[in-house]
Each structure stands twice: as structure tokens, then as C-alpha cells.
Amino acid sequence: MRRLGTAALVIGAAVACGNPVAAPKVADTPPVWVEVGCSVKDPLDPSVERGGVPADFVANSVVRCRSEPREVPGEGTWTVQIIERADGPVPELLDMLRKPSGPPPANSICPAIGYAKPYFVLVDAEGRALLPDVPTSTCGKPHDEVTRFLDKLPYRTVSETRTGLVGSVRSNETGCPDTWKDTIVLESPKAAPGGAMWPDPAGTPRVCTYLVDGDTGRLANGFSLKGPAVSALRSALDTAGPAAGCDRPHTRFAVVLPSMGGTATVELDGCLRFQRSDNTLGQLDKDAVAVLTR
């Protein structure tokens, strides 16, 4: 099962690092005392305040907070927050946490990645808990030795709490996202003739249908398109002319996701137009749209 522990989030283009600056030891910063467990809304939030590990601090246990997606029968996929505890002294971990972070490299470029640090607290014999900072490498990545050590500890589960729905039962069953932006409205594609959208054979496209709710579609159904229906739709999309003028808003649309080739977003009512992946708008008829409704 996939764990969401130390995560890397791409945040933009590469950024240049300046001249090297001496990095203070994590232990030199004041400790941050917290409650045992997950005391913040988002444990992976980089703005969460963390502190050093005093030289005289002795940890008797480690309490880690992590999240993972989990499918719940009949209820969809949920994010579950897990609090787990490993008892016993961890002098090796304390030594790792007291090491300095690497200074920025001189006249070189760091990849534009923001690294999230694992959330865990160290608890002493008196029950006091501190949230330690984790030393980082030259470009900000948490030291691998810390995350590897944490992953190997003999945890026991303290609690498991659902924190948010990731995907509904219908989404899990159909393979379609629960929501999809109504791009025909939002992106204002221009009417234009098209051309070949999919290779031949086109494989097994997935069709996801949505009910319009503002500028977003809410998942109604999903299925795989097979056999002659694929060839018929492919031919209709490839030969469609530019969309005609339209004064009838649609209330339903389908997103056709092929194995290869461009995505098509199709109005299931209204004017029966469709948006190509190049943001042009073509025109279909009732027969072509009929294969997308179930």
C-alpha cells in the first residue's frame, strides 16, 4: 500500500542557489514542544514550525503521523491519517537529527522541487514531546538516513482517522474522476474543422459522462467503448466540420479518453458540439452522440 510520507512537490522551474552559507546545526535551534500525535491540520505543510533536539534530550519513543489512500468497501477511497508509535530509545536517530543541513551550492542550480519533511515527534520519559526539524541536503532534500531509520522502526498503530474522500464508489468502479471542468464553457474553443484524432485501431476508449453543475461536471457514469461503436465515433470525430452557432446550453457532457490520441469533450445535449484536444470546436449529430449515452 502506498504511503504518503516524505513527499516531493514540483513547484516550478529550476532555481539558482546563491553563494554557500554556513548551515546551522539543527540542534542549535530551540526545541518546539507539541502534543503527542498529529497536532496540526496538515503534517506535510512546509510552514509547520519545527525545532532542534537539545543535547540532553533523551527520547523514549517516536510517534509518527502519516497518511495513505485506502479503499473502503461501499464507501469509496479515503485518505486515512495514521498515528503510530514505536517505543524504545533511539540514540542513532537523535544523532542524525543533530547534524547540520548542507549549505546551498555556489554558482550552481538546484532542481525546483519543494520537499515535505516527515512528521514525527520524540517523546521523553516524562511524556514531553518535541517536533524535530530534519537536516536537509545541499538543495533542501531531507536526509535519506532519517527517513530510512523512521521507516524501519517497529510501530504499533495508535489510531486511524479518515480525513477526506479521494474517490467515490462510482469513480472507483468506472475509472473516471468524480469531477471534470466544463472546458467547452470555460475555454471558449473556436469553431474549426478537424482531422484524424485517434490512430487506427483506436483501442478501447473510456467514456466518462458528467452532469453540469456550474462550470464543473459531476460524474454520472463511465464505461468502455468497444467494437463498432469505436469505429463509428472515430469516423464522426475525424470528419466533423466546424461547430455551428449555438444558443442552447448543454446540461450533460462526455469526456472520451482514448488509449492513444487526443481527448474529446462532447456535449450530450444542447448543440452537440465537441472540443478537440487542440481547443477547436467541431459539430456532431444525434447518431454520433448516441454511442456515448448509457
Confidence of residue 134 (pLDDT cuts 50, 70, 90): very high
- Indicate if the pLDDT at residue 25 is higher than 70: no
Q: Note the pLDDT of residue 281.
A: 96
pLDDT at 260: 80
Q: Domain ranges in the chain?
A: 8-166, 169-290
Whole-prediction pTM: 0.70
pLDDT tier for residue 26 given thresholds of 50, 70 and 90: low
Spatial separation of the C-alpha atoms in residues 34 and 51, rounded to whole Å: 10
The DSSP line for 10-47 is E-SS-EEE-S--PPPBGGGSPP-EE-SS--SS-TT-TT
State whether residue 177 is helix, strand or coil. coil
Q: Is the pLDDT of residue 27 over 70?
A: no
pLDDT at residue 2 tops 70: no
Can you give the pLDDT at residue 12? 38
Residue 284's pLDDT band, with cuts at 50, 70 and 90, is very high
pLDDT in tens, 70-129: 999 999 999 999 999 999 999 999 999 999 998 877 777 888 888 889 999 999 999 999
